[in-house]
Amino acid sequence: MSLVWPNKDPDELLDYSVDWSSIIGDLTITNVVWSVSSTAYAPEVVLTAGQNLTAATNSARIDSIQNIQQALTGNVAVIYVAGGYHSVDYTFRCTITTSISTVIQRAVLLRIRNT
């Protein structure tokens, strides 16, 4: 995995993004899907805006990382992330569909650490 976002404190609400401009050039993004897995919960789960990992999996043992909101600004996909547990690493996967129906994914590591 080559992409890594800056660490996040469990109490913070921060925005993170993937800029697709250099990859898709003049194409446009028609759809964005964010999914996440963690060191505590291995299967990848799609998170819609306003959903947390616990609700998405119906399991009390899952940690509380949340997709508060997501946006698309030009060729930049943005996700607003809250929650998570200290010392847990999350892998967010951003999957886009372009105007010519190309599907591309990028995985990004997000570490949760108390500050």
Instruction: Convert the pLDDT of each residue in 75-111 to its tens digit.
Output: 999 999 999 888 989 999 999 999 999 999 999 999 9
Segments of 7-102 assigned E as strands: 13-19, 29-38, 45-46, 51-52, 66-73, 76-82, 89-98
Instruction: Convert the pLDDT of each residue in 48-66 to its tens digit.
Output: 777 666 555 554 444 678 8
Coil, helix or strand at residue 34: strand
CA distance 67 to 70: 7
pLDDT at 38: 82
Q: Work out whether the CA dihedral 35, 64, 86, 10 comes out positive or negative.
A: positive
User: 4 and 94 in contact (C-beta within 8 Å)?
Assistant: no
pLDDT at 85: 86
